[in-house]
Amino acid sequence: MKSINITNTSIFTVYELNRYIKNKFENDDKLNNLFVKGEISNLVNHSSGHSYFSLKDDKSQLRCVFFRNSKSHFKFDLKNGMKIILEGSLEIYEPRGEYSLVVKDAQPDGLGSLHLAFIQLKEKLEKEGLFSVEHKKPFPKFPKEIGIITSPTGAALQDILKVLRKRYPLVKVRIVPALVQGEDSANSIVEAIKVMNTHQEVDVIILGRGGGSIEDLWSFNEEIVAREIFKSNIPIISAVGHEIDFTISDFVADKRAPTPSAAAEMITPDIQELYSQLNNIKIRSNRSIQNKIELYKSNLKQVNVKSISKKIIDIMNLKRRELDDIKDIIEEIMLNNIKEKRKQLEIINLKIKALNPKSILKRGYGIIMKGNEILTNPSSLKKGEAINIILDSGKIEAEVKNIQNN
């Protein structure tokens, strides 16, 4: 075995060597604040909040550590197989003599970090059912009070109020101001939703702000905001940014509007259209009522004619019956009168017959006439006067011979 001459050679302890290498790393500008890209593997998320993983390519790999304090503002979750660009510094872990990259920040390789965070949270909440249609609350057709959560100084508020005043001035408006951009904006929005839900007279909430970059709109992509929207008892319409902008709030809200002013239009009726509809209803109602009246008039005329005709016929029939009854009575009276007259005539006839001289003559009597005077007393006669004796079958001319008085 070849001997080693160590007379003029410094001998390092393990610690000294690791310390030496560490100092070299720390004093090398290329190894501090460097950027390195690769694929994540062997990812371990420790209960302490730190993440440990390897960054590899097709030829080599590098151990990495992402401490909790550096991750506090991190927007997306690390995943095995993720292509990523890391920013950090190489450090030696002296107890084990291992070097690793201490990560300060990270971004997806080929995809922005916020965009990736958006996709990851969207997939997570969608799996939990926060976007499901069955959880969407209905909106009232004629809201009595509308709640608005937005910046009190932003243009979005004025756009919403302008539309509401024009379309539906009857509605009441309740404004709960909130930060819609910046570090504390997510918590501000959450608190505003909670406050709005204490006012049960509010029928619907408009949650929104004007347009901006993805960073400007990021408050509406925060998980705490999404979950508070889902918990709201009052239906919420999300109106964040412009038509091309989509946020997590849009998916979890009960309805999404492309702009704040569009949200005001979507949840309110147009009062001019209502007036027009009411006028059309009034016209149709009046026309329908008039047609009904004319129909009823026509039916009434027919009913009256029929009724009058029937009444006339009934009266005529009644009068006919009464006339028949009167005729019967008159006829009966006349018959009775005739019978009575006949009896009277018979009696008179009998009397006439009894008093008729001819009847007496038939019984053998005669009538003595002196001229035209019937003689009943012989004292009116004188001897020798001419008299006539009328018999039943003829007349005798005679002369008075003798007169005797009883």
Does pLDDT of 293 surpass 70? yes
Does pLDDT of 240 surpass 80? yes
Extents of the domains making up the chain: 14-111, 143-269, 273-355, 360-399
Contacts of 239 by beta carbon, 8 Å cutoff, 6+ apart: 156, 160, 206, 207, 208, 256, 257, 258, 259, 260, 262, 263
> Cα(384)–Cα(388) distance, rounded to whole angstroms?
13
Contacts of 111 by beta carbon, 8 Å cutoff, 6+ apart: none
Q: What is the pLDDT of residue 111?
A: 58
CB half-sphere exposure, 101, CA atoms < 13 A: 25
Averaged pLDDT for residues 242-255: 89
Give 68's strand partners: none
Q: Are 132 and 104 in contact (CB under 8 A)?
A: no
Same topology between domain 14-111 and domain 143-269: no
Q: CATH for 143-269, among 3.60.20.10, 1.10.150.80, 3.40.30.10, 3.40.50.261?
A: 3.40.50.261
> Cα(391)–Cα(366) distance, rounded to whole angstroms?
5
Mean pLDDT of the chain: 84
Q: What is the pLDDT of residue 161?
A: 95
Q: What is the pLDDT of residue 357?
A: 67
Q: At what angle do helices 223-231 and 185-196 cross, to 10 degrees?
A: 10
> Cα(241)–Cα(214) distance, rounded to whole angstroms?
10
Q: Tell which CATH architecture fits domain 14-111.
A: Beta Barrel (2.40)
Averaged pLDDT for residues 103-128: 81
Q: What confidence tens digit (pLDDT) does each residue in 10-58 have?
A: 788 888 888 888 888 878 878 888 888 888 889 999 888 899 999 988 8
